[in-house]
Amino acid sequence: MLSSSDDDAGLGGAFRRQRRVIFALMLRRMRTRFFGNGLGFLIAILWPLSHILFFVAFSVYRGRHAPVGESAALFFATGSATFMAFSYLAMYTMQSISGMRPLLGFPAVKLLDAIFASALLEILSSCTVTLIVLIIGISFGIDVMPRDAEQAACAYGSAILLGLGMGMLNSIMALMVPMWAMVFGLSRILLWISSGAIFLPDTLPEPLRTWMSYNPIAQSLEWMRSAYFEGVGVGFLDKAYVLKVAIFLIFLGFVGERAMRGYLLAR
């Protein structure tokens, strides 16, 4: 029978130590991201929330009609919230690594610990933002419940997986090439425009429609809207493709971290 000390040194003990490290990194990130205290992390929730609400309100105010469904607000909110889940996870997971870099000198803290701690924090923030958006929609009398809640959850999960994979790659790229953070930050605008947040890719003429089908973010947004609106994504949506790309990006992140670990920490 294993003693308590043996148990602490085994797989269970390693898991508990790793959990404590990630939790400590999450707490540190919460305190240091804005204003140097925990309350500043509320900005991490209010920032994407304000982006979503501003875009939806602006689109409705300008009288833009939804290409599908009866509520323009619901159409634009489904695209915006799903895109922001990907975008903020990919962006702020990358940015947080530079802030945690001094901690990588401690033997107990690994690069993957910092990446996962940042990613978990962004996922919790993203889910909180989405919940608030749903509550606001309900308060305005909008039917925010999807016709297929399971598929809506899967679509949101696909956006998170894409953001996690891209965030892992961005973290490694930003450590290797510091300018990469600015390049990706600017590219988010192009991704926003080209990924179907404000239109339905399925309605584009050929060959644009085919080209758009290779954009996994556009596929993720279309997946979300197919859970709300009947007939969306027929002939365009490929759920397996989204998941394959997301898993491939995460795999590349693991491989890149493993292959470049010594080089990255020595810089």
The answer to whether the CB of 60 falls within 8 A of the CB of 144 is no
Q: What pLDDT was estimated at residue 18?
A: 75
- Unique residue bearing structure tokens 């140097």: 36
- pLDDT tens digits, one per residue of 180-199: 888 888 888 888 888 888 88
Measured CA to CA, the distance from residue 8 to residue 50 in angstroms comes to 45
How high is the pLDDT of residue 2?
A: 41
**Which stretches of the chain score pLDDT less than 50?**
1-7
Closest CA to 21 of 113, 119, 118, 105: 113
Hey, CA dihedral for 161, 164, 168, 169, is it positive or negative? positive
Q: Do you find a cis peptide bond into 207, omega within 30 degrees of 0?
A: yes
d(CA 87, CA 189): 10
CA pair distance 51, 39, nearest whole angstrom: 20
For the chain, the domains span 45-266
> In the prediction, which pLDDT does 4 show?
44
Between CA 202 and CA 259 the distance in angstroms is: 39
Residue 154 burial by Cβ neighbours in a 10 Å radius (0-12, 13-18, 19+): middle
CA-closest candidate to residue 183, choices 250, 91, 264, 48: 91
Q: Do residues 237 and 209 touch, judged by C-beta distance below 8 A?
A: no
The residue assigned the tokens 């365009």 is 236
Q: How far apart are CA 38 and CA 42, in angstroms?
A: 8
pLDDT tens-digit series, residues 196-249: 888 888 888 888 888 999 999 999 999 999 999 988 888 889 999 999 999 999
